[in-house]
Amino acid sequence: MLSEEKNRLLTRVGPGEPMGDYLRRYWIPVAGASELDETRVKPIRILGEDLALYRDLSGKFGLVERNCLHRRADLSYGFVEKTGLRCNYHGWLFDADGSCIERPYDDLAHPQTQGQKLPCIKAYPVRELAGLLFAYMGPQPAPELPVYEPFTWKNGFNQVVTADIPCNWFQCQENSCDPVHFEWMHDNWSVRLQGKDAGYSAKHLRVSFDEFEHGFTYKRIREGSSESDPLWQVGRVTLWPMGFYLGQHFEWRVPVDDENTLSISWFHVRVPKERQPYVQNSVPSWKSPIVGPDGRWISTHVINQDIIAWVGQGKISDRSKEYLGASDRGITLIRKRFFDDMEAVAAGADPKGTIRDPEVAKCVPLPTGDSNANRSYTQEEFMRNSYFKARVTEDFRWHAGQPKEVRKAFLEAVGATEQIVKEGL
């Protein structure tokens, strides 16, 4: 259990809070780039700050505070120009650095003030990578944006899936270092959700946790497996500070504010050999539903099952009332690392996983227990592989809420005919 003071340190993310200042030292995924294909301005809230995310007519992305410098109008209703975002109230124009570069009427009435520097609105740099938009909200100089190796993979169909989670980010991220929950929440519960009265799944016999430069790995041995199992040799990755990585996808638990989280996932599927070379011109982004028509949380697939565990702890989990067990060593490890890193940042040091060398950042390898993550299959091998077959056939529950146009594009990319979708091979 944790004291109220320590729990506050882990969960408060606004400006001036130790955790908020710490998280601002990293590049944070804030949206899928394709979210701005049609609507070029989007209101977002990240780390307790209300912001306007936009792409101007030159294609440059910007992220600025949501209220105009002039009369505090809402810039998320502004309109984009070749350079920057213009307020719809009186036309003041701001560039991606937050500088006011045009003041209609004022520029005419007081021409002598042209060129004089005005106070800027708050602005943060934005970078596009693999269909994701990353923002840096901390002090300069900014660290390098790490290009994790899967972002460099070719011939893949990628997509970005988001969800709005009504609870604090940290109870989401702690899940990333908790292997035993998979046995119960995903295996045993899934069977019972399907109405089956079956026995229990393979038990966890051993768990182990190791720290590396960019996070932690957790390893596990379950009944029927051995120390040669990839999940024991390599494990799965808790990606620092708010991510999780598993072979073919990433998940980030992005703090919106103290009581809300933006879940952002990036999925990669390499298309069959016969479909290569394949170039994806735009990575689709879509929002996954988490509540069903009956008002209950959707429980049909893995990520949503996790969400049920997260929100079930309340808006902010009261860790003074928890009772940790033997399987929770990973939880205590990541908490300790956060406390240590907050102290390091307060003392002027870089936190864990920060990259300053551009050459190192160009391709950052990560450990993975999935040796087939980017394997190239033939069309027949692809359709017979249980992982990919599940993503092609009609009854795969993970696709709940996926837009029809995204589903169609995916099936075309992997060469799945209508018959294969309905019947498989």
What does the domain layout of the chain look like in residue ranges?
34-125, 149-423
Percent of the chain scoring above 70 in pLDDT? 94
Ranked by mean pLDDT, the top range of 66-75, 193-202, 320-329 is 66-75
Instruction: Read off the amino acid at residue 353.
Output: G
Cα pseudo-dihedral 253, 77, 129, 238, rounded to 10: 0
Considering the chain, what is the average pLDDT of its residues? 90
Could you tell me the CA-to-CA distances from 172 to 10, 162, 243, 306, 419 in Å, in that order?
12, 14, 10, 8, 39
Two tokens, residue 291? 């509540």
The pLDDT confidence band at residue 200, using thresholds 50, 70 and 90, is confident
The answer on pLDDT for 392 being more than 70 is yes
The CATH code for residues 149-423 is 3.90.380
pLDDT of residue 247: 85
Could you tell me the CA-to-CA distances from 86 to 76, 111, 349 in Å, in that order?
10, 20, 38
pLDDT of residue 71: 93
pLDDT of residue 66: 98
The pLDDT confidence band at residue 175, using thresholds 50, 70 and 90, is very high
> Whole-prediction pTM value?
0.94
1-31 residue pLDDT tens: 799 999 999 999 999 999 999 999 999 999 9
The pLDDT confidence band at residue 131, using thresholds 50, 70 and 90, is very high
CB 260 within 8 A of CB 171: no
Two tokens, residue 424? 């498989």
pLDDT of residue 40: 95
Two tokens, residue 37? 């294909």
pLDDT of residue 90: 95
Residue holding tokens 């950052």? 364
The answer on pLDDT for 42 being more than 90 is yes
Residue 425, Cβ neighbours under 10 Å: how many?
A: 11
* H or E element that contains 263: strand 260-270
- CB burial class (10 A; 0-12, 13-18, 19+) of residue 42? middle
Tell me how far the alpha carbon of residue 335 is from its chain's centroid. 20
Residue scoring higher pLDDT (422 or 379) = 379
The pLDDT confidence band at residue 113, using thresholds 50, 70 and 90, is low
Residue 89, Cβ neighbours under 10 Å: how many?
A: 15
pLDDT of residue 423: 61
Q: Where are the alpha helices (DSSP H) in 175-301?
A: 180-181, 189-193, 230-233
Tell me the average pLDDT across 154-175: 96
* H or E element that contains 94: strand 93-94
The answer on pLDDT for 188 being more than 90 is no
228-270 residue pLDDT tens: 776 666 678 999 999 999 888 999 999 999 999 999 999 999 9
- Quickly name the fold that domain 34-125 has: Rieske Iron-sulfur Protein (2.102.10)
CB 34 within 8 A of CB 406: no
The pLDDT confidence band at residue 197, using thresholds 50, 70 and 90, is confident
Please work out, in degrees rounded to the nearest 5, the angle formed at the alpha carbon of residue 276 by the alpha carbons of 398 and 416.
40
Two tokens, residue 185? 């929440």
CB 180 within 8 A of CB 325: no
Tell me the average pLDDT across 392-418: 80
Residue 251, Cβ neighbours under 10 Å: how many?
A: 23
**Cα separation of 43 and 252, whole Å?**
19
222's CB contacts (< 8 A; 6+ apart) are 183, 202, 203, 204, 205
Lowest mean pLDDT among 88-97, 201-210, 402-411: 201-210
Lowest mean pLDDT among 82-96, 171-185, 396-410: 396-410
